[in-house]
Chain A
Amino acid sequence: MKELIKKLVEAFGPSGCEDEVSAIIRAEIGDKAEVRSDNLGNLIAFKKGTGGGKRIMISAHMDEIGLIVSYVDKKGFARIGSIGGIPIATLTGGRARFADGTVGVLYNEKDAWKGPEALSDCYMDTGATSPEDSPVKVGDVACLHRPFEVLGNRLVSKAMDDRIGCAVALQALLEMPSSPNDLFFVFSTQEEVGCRGAMVAAFGIEPEIGVAVDVTLTGDTPQAKPMSVELGKGPAIKVKDAGMLAHPGVKNWMVATAEKLQIPFQLEVLTGGTTDAYTIQTSRDGVAAGCLSIPTRYVHSPSEMVDYDDVLNSVKLLVGMLETEITI
């Protein structure tokens, strides 16, 4: 799966600009499912069930956090705004990349050793010397620019959030044996700005069950804020986050599947942040929703880290969940 993951995480796709990621996923799916895009750019892959099952929406978001040019000054430096939540301390000295491949260096006008206090202290140097020779203009969008690396059994890149979820959902779709359930794999847009893509996709699909596949934080780094999720201890089954209480039936179905298949798993209580399951859950007259999380360190930094075994086990768990009849 590493090749697929590399291709997905290195693709360009800040919220609202998910076309490149969508094209990669569409090509990978080929004729394995019926594929369409909707008004907000969600890619929806449908695999009809053999009958008697549930209508299930699986959602992994294609978009990543990014930057948007708000101004190019007289000397050619670009000022930037954020798309989604950017921890500004991670920007100085880093680089950003635009859809056309243009690269800019990120720096700040305050003390480089201490870092910026606000995004308005930061700027981007694209090598331009004036607005006239600037390769970027107001409104252009960039992603963080870092290559995919394999560090032992750990994988590191920008945009693991949530291309790793896309990779897991996509791999599950490709490996899926026949299932009684009608499966809608949604590769959603604009999660990082408020789970907007999943909201409208869920309205169109009208699922009975919704499962987001997304990253979650861990509590296993030096002096980390206490949280009982660790890298390498298996997929995390969400109990709650800041936006959603998982449907107990969905959570129990995930736990029972992991136990049956002897897949290691961890229960997750996340105190900040949420996933597509948040907007799926309250679509129309309500949807039983939950989330399969891939434990990830350094979320929203340019170097998000996952454990490869957790990734493989997440695929196994998702396939196991979806291939059988479900009672929740």
Chain B
Amino acid sequence: MLLKELSEARGVSGNESAVRELLLKNLDGVIDEHRVDALGNLICLKRAKLPAATGAPRTVMVAAHMDEVGFIISGYNSDGTLKYERVGGIDKRMLLSKPVLVGEKAVPGVIGFRPIHLIGRAGTEKVADISQTAIDIGASGKEAAAKLVQPGDYVTFRTSFEVLSEDGLRAAKGKALDDRVGCAELVEVLKGDYAFDLYGVFTTQEEVGLRGARVAGYRVNPDVAIALEGTVCDDLPKERDRDVSPVTELGKGPAITFRDGSVICDRRLVKLLADTAEAEGIPYQYKRGAVGGTDAGAMHLVREGVPSVVLSVPCRYIHAPVSVLSLNDFENAIKLLRAALTKLEGGLDA
């Protein structure tokens, strides 16, 4: 299962090469050409295979980001443990005692902290600062650690992908589902034939400010742009009996974004996705709430502006060592996207 391989691949922002290689292996024979740009974006082209209608977009860019949130090694402690910093948005309450893999050699380690015996009841109420924790790779001292790990090495959570339920919700857990689920969708979408040049762009450095998509968007110069994301899903119990909405819910279908923190989506594209879902009988939901930014935030502002939209798979607990999605949502996102792209061949205003 490609989603499993993608989830387990290691690619913190700025070091996405392992994910890129895995994708390229799976795109062999699917795409017409590809290039890797200076920021590491994998830009794949699937040429138009069908005749285009007049007024239809000639170039469509669909982006999914390869990078995940993680850590970077910043130095050694004298006892052989490692100093580290966060890359991307990670809640520090998620860190303690988590298994990790360090550097290109995937050295196993854990994020260590003093046990409850030493911090007392009151201590358990406080959130430990990163500087009070360290990554422990079992090295006997600084020199032993330096043989295995260098400052600048990237660190990922060590989480295996697993299907949690075979039917019903068909939930699966894994790390980095934000946005390896988008990458897996995009591979499937690239297998279709369309009446426009489809650029499937696997972007870098989204988690640190939509950096890859900005330069890839400039290069591709698309007529329409779509970002595929794994997004916030907060359908767990709410406070008291307050009747308020979750951002998205698991298993209710892919989520269409009106706007998020980085983009107000093109209304024609929002309607195209919703109308397509209705026509095809594919479940869908709207993303409620404006949290987060996406590659669409960068793509819609390149050059003279690009009509853009975001389609997301809800992922519980994103930016944590493990998140959970529904394979139904994942498969429905692919179905919806392929149908919507076919409909887009009639033009944006059709």
Q: Which residues of A does B touch, CB under 8 Å?
A: 15-17, 38-40, 42, 68, 70-71, 73-75, 79, 81-83, 120, 138-139, 190, 193, 196-197, 199-201, 203-204
Contact = CB atoms under 8 A, between A and B. Distances in A.
Nearest to A199: B301
Contact of A83 (B245, B259, B305): B259
B255 to A, nearest CB: 11
Nearest to B307: A39
B258 interface: yes
B346 to A, nearest CB: 18
24 contacts: A16-B259, A16-B267, A38-B304, A39-B306, A42-B305, A68-B258, A68-B290, A73-B243, A73-B244, A79-B244, A81-B290, A83-B259, A120-B244, A139-B258, A139-B286, A190-B264, A193-B264, A196-B264, A200-B301, A200-B302, A200-B304, A201-B304, A203-B304, A203-B305
Contacts of A197: 305
A216 to B, nearest CB: 25
Contacts of A196: 264, 300-301
Interface in B73-92: none
B264 A16 contact: yes
Given A139-B258, A139-B286, A71 B267 contact: no
Contact of A40 (B258, B290, B300): B300
A222 B106 CA distance: 63
Contacts of B259: 16, 68, 83, 193
B303 A70 contact: no
A288 B134 CA distance: 49
Contact of A139 (B244, B270, B305, B307): B270
A203 to B, nearest CB: 5
Most A CB contacts (10 A, CB to CB) among B243, B300, B306, B307 go to B243
Most A CB contacts (10 A, CB to CB) among B270, B304, B306 go to B304
Nearest to A73: B243
Contact of B288 (A39, A40, A71): A71
A156 B302 CA distance: 37
Contacts of B264: 15-16, 83, 190, 193, 196
A70 B245 contact: yes
Interface of B: 243-245, 258-259, 264, 267, 270, 286, 288-290, 300-307
B231 to A, nearest CB: 14
Contact of B289 (A70, A73, A83, A193): A70
A38 B305 contact: yes
Contacts of A201: 304-305
Given A39-B304, A73-B245, A204-B303, 7 more contacts: A17-B267, A68-B290, A83-B259, A199-B301, A200-B301, A203-B304, A204-B304
A83 B260 CA distance: 10
B213 to A, nearest CB: 15
A203 B304 CA distance: 6
Contact of B245 (A38, A42, A68, A79): A79
B286 A200 contact: no
Given A39-B307, A74-B243, A81 B301 contact: no
Contacts of A82: 290
A235 B290 CA distance: 36
Contact of A200 (B258, B270, B303): B303
A39 B305 contact: yes
A76 to B, nearest CB: 11
A308 B288 CA distance: 41
Given A16-B267, A81-B290, A83-B259, A71 B245 contact: yes
Contact of B244 (A16, A71, A190, A203): A71
B305 A138 contact: no
B308 to A, nearest CB: 9
A119 to B, nearest CB: 10
A190 to B, nearest CB: 6
Nearest to A123: B244
B164 to A, nearest CB: 28
A200 B305 contact: yes
A120 B302 CA distance: 33
Contacts of B301: 196, 199-200
Most A CB contacts (10 A, CB to CB) among B258, B270, B286, B290 go to B258
A203 B303 contact: yes
Contacts of A75: 243
B303 A138 contact: no
A126 B301 CA distance: 35
B241 to A, nearest CB: 11
Nearest to B257: A139
Nearest to B267: A16
A7 to B, nearest CB: 24
Given A16-B264, A68-B258, A73-B243, A138 B304 contact: no
A68 B307 CA distance: 20
B305 A70 contact: no
Nearest to A205: B304
Contacts of A74: 243
Contacts of B290: 68, 81-82
Contacts of B244: 71, 73, 79, 120
A327 to B, nearest CB: 29
Contacts of A79: 244-245
Contacts of B245: 70-71, 73, 79
B269 to A, nearest CB: 12
Contacts of A40: 300, 305
Most A CB contacts (10 A, CB to CB) among B302, B305, B307 go to B305
B71 to A, nearest CB: 29
Nearest to B242: A109
Contacts of B304: 38-39, 200-201, 203-204
A64 B221 CA distance: 29
Nearest to A140: B258
B292 to A, nearest CB: 13
A201 to B, nearest CB: 8
